[in-house]
Amino acid sequence: MQIIPAIDLIEGKCVRLIQGNYAAKIIYNENPLEVAFQFEDVGITRLHLVDLDGAKKGEVVNWKVLELLASKTKLIIDFGGGIKNEKALQVVFNSGAAIATLGSIAVKEPQLFYEWIKKYGSDKLLLGADVKDEKLAISGWIEETTISIMDFLKEALKNNLTQAFCTDISKDGMLQGTSNELYKKIIATFPMLHFIASGGVNSLTNLDELKTIGCKGAIVGKALYENKITLNELKNWIKKN
């Protein structure tokens, strides 16, 4: 299972939100590159970079940070937030992202999302599904929908989706553990999906659980910034796994 640290960006700074609340942000580091170097030093090979300004504004804002991290590190970067059209998608790829994370646009305009999968390849596009009570939430979690995550994944897989992560909003930033039952359900129903867990990771034990249930990756954010999992512990976990 691949460990994928998250760097969430507001005004170019590394921050974390609690349950998507922009008013409850914590700035952890004003230099995202410094954070990326720390991750790279312990054996991390992939980074989940989220443009929270972009998610709120509806257009990519922090592409220069992406460009900096992509040019200065060897990390495979998946980037999301504010990708609402093909021009924005191309900005993200041209700025150095290996993978574009799509959430709101995939839900609001699924046919366009499927066209992009066909055009750019399923390995280049990652579905970022934010859920609350198994229903999708969009626009930086501001807007809830009545669309079931299970139904959406079923349709997306028919249209060549191969990789997705799922964030349970009720868990994100709370350090209360991950939504293992939901993840088990998704993995059992869609075994062909490259599934990544996200939200609520609070310990190495939690990572062991996610690996055991079959997650291919785990996005880890606040647990690292709050030292619930230290970088040294993470380094040792990666070596063992």
What are the pLDDT digits (tens) for 123-144? 999 999 989 889 998 865 567 8
How far is it, in rounded angstroms, from Cα 95 to Cα 73? 13
Catalytic residue among 8, 51, 78, 168: 8
Q: Which two tokens stand for residue 60?
A: 């990519």
What per-residue confidence (pLDDT) applies to 66?
98
94: helix, strand or coil:
helix
How far is it, in rounded angstroms, from Cα 29 to Cα 2? 24
What per-residue confidence (pLDDT) applies to 208?
97
Report the C-alpha dihedral over residues 183, 187, 189, 193, rounded to 10 degrees. Answer: 120
DSSP class of residue 176?
S
The closest alpha carbon to 84, from 100, 69, 95, belongs to: 100
Catalytic residue among 51, 53, 78, 130: 130
Catalogue all structural domains in the chain, each as residue range(s) with its CATH number: 2-240 (3.20.20.70)
Residue 111 CA, distance from chain mean position: 22
Contact 48, 54 (CB under 8 A): no
Residue segments in the chain with a per-residue pLDDT below the cut of 70? 19, 139-142, 171-175
Q: Is 130 a catalytic residue?
A: yes
Q: Is 8 a catalytic residue?
A: yes
What per-residue confidence (pLDDT) applies to 18?
74
Q: What is the tens place of the pLDDT at every residue in 142-174?
A: 678 899 999 999 999 999 999 999 988 876 556
